[in-house]
Structure 1
Amino acid sequence: MAFDILVKNGRVADGSGAPAVAADVGIGEGKIQAIGRLDGEAVRVIDASGKIVAPGFIDIHSHSEFILPLEKAPEILAPFIQQGITTLVTGNCGYSPAPVNPKTLDLMKSYTMFLKGEELSWEWTGFGEFLDYLERQGLCMNMVPMVSHGAVRIHQVGFEGRPVTRDEMETMKRLGTRAGQSRQARILCAPTSVVIRVSGDRLARRARYTACG
């Protein structure tokens, strides 16, 4: 079998809890195609002698959704991949770049200012539009997005320090439910070739808003 990438001579720890085993890993079309003693041809061979080969790690508390839309995202996020992190769970702490209400966009910019090195383009309003934007421009890492409470509340009432009305609560719940129960709640995946390129040589070595009470 021919592979795009063949990682040879490493010890594979598959994340199951079983002991690591000596094995090669063959990758093709962005997916693991085979694990074992492999002798097939490959476009690129990585010698992992003396190293552990493992599935990419998951950063379960990330705010990098404010970095991924930037042109410099691959450069900024390269250290994550170089440490083995390939998937980001985003939308934590009440922060996410969507949904956005144009009437409260300035408040969203202020609310999230400290999370980004430069201003986003804000070329979206709905959460699905934000994910579509990321997919069109391409991703350097995988992303598991969540819709944040903060963005949903700012969308509806801005920074008003008061309880929301019943109607406002229903609208907020619809915003979250729409994201959680439609195609918007999807995992965005970066092509394996992009992850490899971003990491450089060192690598060779559902979202919802819940109303309470």
Structure 2
Amino acid sequence: MKQLEKWLAQPVLVREQPPRPTAVGKKLLGLYRRVRLLEQELVPELAADLGDKPLSVSLATNADSLATWLLPSLFPLLESKRVELDLIVDDEGRTIEKLKNGEVVGAISLEPQSIPGCVADYLGRVDYLCVASPSFIKRYFSQGVNRETLMKAPAVAYDQHDKMHQKFVNQHFNIMRGNILKHTVRSSEAFVKLAVAGVAYCLIPKLQIQEELESGASSN
């Protein structure tokens, strides 16, 4: 490590407990992971005795993708290849940063443009619905869904970086930040439970709430 820092003429590790990489160290980790990925694809073809080693792949994903379509799309790969997945969950607007700083080799992101050393592929779109249970609607929206009733009704956000709900109420109802009661729950599955239980209204992927809508447990 010291030799590497001497060669670079700058530190690559912050020596604290636990230690963490500097900005340069993160870039080196990113390079290392990409080289390892290429190596793990090539080496088994050159050395048969190494063919049983699993391929390690780190991906950054948002919670909603993980709760809906991502894992089913990966099942065929996981069944046919020896792959170790390391899934890192973050807001879809921030997953690209995980790729830029070298924490992962791929990311599901809102960013349409590729970054140096990577390619960007369009995966599709996810439609979101604003949903609540019948009991919640009766309690908070008996006079309709409008600016006044929304400012009294509890909502849910994923974390402090989740701007989706705020953009929704601001765009459609002119409600500014800080004027709504909002729970912070870092679980996509918990959004569904909160909505069905009548605790809050939420923006949820249509794929994730379809069964509850069909059964009448929630409405949009």
Report the TM-score when normalising by structure 2. Answer: 0.24
Q: Which has the larger share of helix?
A: 2
Q: Which has the larger share of strand?
A: 1
